Amino acid sequence: MSQPDPQSPPLSTSESASTTPAPLASQGAQASAVQVDSVTRVFGRGASQVVALDDVSLTVAPGEFVSLIGPSGCGKSTLLRLVADLDQPTSGTVEVFGRPARQARLSREYGIAFQQAGLLPWRTVRANVELPLALSGTGRGARRERVDHLLDLVGLADFADSFPDQLSGGMQQRVAIARSLAEEPSLLLMDEPFGALDEMTREHLQTQLLRICAETRAAVVFVTHSIPEAVFLSDTVVVMSPRPGRIREIVPVGLDRAGIAPATAVSTAAEDAVGDDLRTADAFVDAVARVRTALHGDLASAGRPGGAPGESRTARPAGVDQR
């Protein structure tokens, strides 16, 4: 199990015994999408040493959407990079679908999207999306069929021959998401992909991402600084503490997103309306409050041993993986 923040109340026996999240329970013996065990990441040496992550453990079930949230410098992006095998832990292990992270990367088990779309300006939308397929040797006909499907999925079929500088920021991010899905990964790793967008575009793309995830059934690990975004998108929100990064709280969300799914076959405007309704639902407001308490309570106590007098803390939910 991950070490709780020193200011956290100790786990009870019943809480520590409940280590399996609900989404994973239904998967039987199927390997977790992501399994992080006792991971520590230290940068530098001696006086300049920085402990970015300290004894972090986390399980993400197949098909589960998990957001990582916490103050700047808490290790969210570092953890994502470790899962992607773009960096290696100082100690501990990271597995993706039961295999070491490096093997998963070489086998293209995951797609990845960053805050900047990272599109090649000399390639069309179609050519950008098909790039991973071309690099892996997929035939021309199969590439075209797959890209046609992906552009339709992200609502950009009419822009296949456009270049990135002809697109808005939100459209560029949709191209990047389509590219990350090119090889049909079972896991998406997303590092603040909507962070640079205006609020209206951001909310629209959040709704579209939920629809895409409902269709692809991919697991997602999503880094964000936005509490409402984390709650709107996620099955589970992982709250991280200030450096050294530890898992401070695991908050199950439990929103009913049935109106945002491929089976509904509704218009984009109707999906956005469902998203707007979801953001005003009591369950959404309650989940935002729980995440805010976990996050801001931790920030308030960061420089005060024991926290402020009378400061409340959100109890760790029973039945949720605390590792």
Domains within the chain, CATH numbers bracketed: 1-109+185-323 (3.40.50.300), 121-184 (no CATH)
For residues 32 and 95, the answer to whether their CB atoms sit within 8 Å is: yes
At 275, the pLDDT band (50, 70, 90 cuts) reads confident
For residue 90, give the 3-state DSSP assignment.
coil
| Helix H or strand E segment including 52 | strand 50-60
CA–CA distances in Å: residue 185 to residues 112, 213, 289, 294: 10, 11, 33, 32
Nearest to 175 by CA among 188, 156, 152, 149: 156
* Amino acid type, 201: T
**Backbone Cα Rg of the chain:** 20
- Report pLDDT for 18: 36
- The phi-psi region of residue 184 (left if phi > 0; otherwise alpha if psi is between -120 and 50; otherwise beta) is left
Mean pLDDT, residues 156-178: 93
Higher pLDDT, 13 or 108: 108
Q: What is the mean pLDDT of residues 120-137?
A: 94
Summarised one tens digit per residue, pLDDT across range 45-104 is: 888 889 999 999 999 999 999 999 999 889 999 999 999 999 999 999 999 999 999 999
Res 242 pLDDT > 50: yes
Side-chain-side CA neighbours of 50 within 13 Å: the count stands at 10
Determine the pLDDT at residue 167. Answer: 94
Please tell me the predicted confidence (pLDDT) of residue 43: 93
Say whether pLDDT at 27 is over 50.
no
**Which pLDDT score, from 0 to 100, does residue 64 have?**
96
